[in-house]
């Protein structure tokens, strides 16, 4: 699994936990829904930390809380 895949999975997890649709998350985060949808699909291959931070602000969590998930422990080495 790549870091991009892990970010997408984590965003989906957090939305499910809070019963939020992607559009609602976009509104809370002050981002266009298309930006978040691109992070969840193959359109965005490298989601930026600033975008992830906006999502965290919308969810009222820290970046540490976002990345504090076992999903990030299972990442493949991306530099070979």
58 neighbors 33 (Cβ within 8 angstroms): no
Averaged pLDDT, 57-79: 89
Cα distance between residue 42 and residue 36, in whole Å: 11
User: What number is the average pLDDT over the span 74-80?
Assistant: 70
35 vs 78: CA distance, rounded Å: 23
- Domain ranges for the chain: 3-69
**pLDDT tens by residue, 35-51:** 999 999 988 778 899 99
CATH code: domain 3-69 is: 1.10.260.40
Task: Give the pLDDT band of residue 28 (cuts 50, 70, 90).
Answer: very high
Average pLDDT, the chain: 92
User: Whole-model pTM?
Assistant: 0.89
Q: Which of 17-24's residues contact partners 24+ apart within 8 Å by CB, and which partners?
A: 18/59
Interior angle at CA 59, CA 66 and CA 36, nearest 5: 80
What is the residue whose two structure tokens read 């193959």?
A: 42
């Amino acid at each position: 699994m790549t870091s991009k895949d892990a970010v997408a999975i984590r965003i989906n997890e957090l939305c499910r936990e809070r019963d939020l649709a992607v559009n609602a998350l976009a509104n809370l985060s002050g981002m266009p829904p298309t930006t978040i949808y691109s992070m969840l699909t193959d359109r965005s291959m490298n989601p930026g930390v600033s975008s992830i931070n906006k999502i965290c602000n919308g969810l009222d969590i820290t970046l540490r809380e976002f990345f504090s998930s076992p999903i990030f422990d299972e990442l493949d080495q991306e530099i070979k």
